[in-house]
Amino acid sequence: MEPDRRKFTLMGLVLALGLAVGTVILAESLDASFHTVDDLRAFSPVPVLVSLPQLVTRAATRRRQWRFGLTAISAILGLGLIVGTSYVAIKGQAQLARLYEQLQHLRQ
Long-range CB contacts (within 8 A, 24+) of 6-10: 6/90, 9/86, 9/89, 9/90
What's the alpha-carbon Rg for the chain, to the nearest Å? 25
| pTM of full prediction above 0.95 | no
Cβ 44 vs Cβ 35: under 8 Å: no
Kindly give the confidence (pLDDT) of every residue in the chain, 108 residues in length, as a single tens digit, with 9 standing for 90 and above. 677 777 888 888 889 899 999 999 999 888 888 888 888 888 888 888 888 888 889 999 999 999 999 999 999 999 999 888 877 777 767 777 777 888 888 877
Q: Where in the chain are the domains?
A: 1-53, 56-108
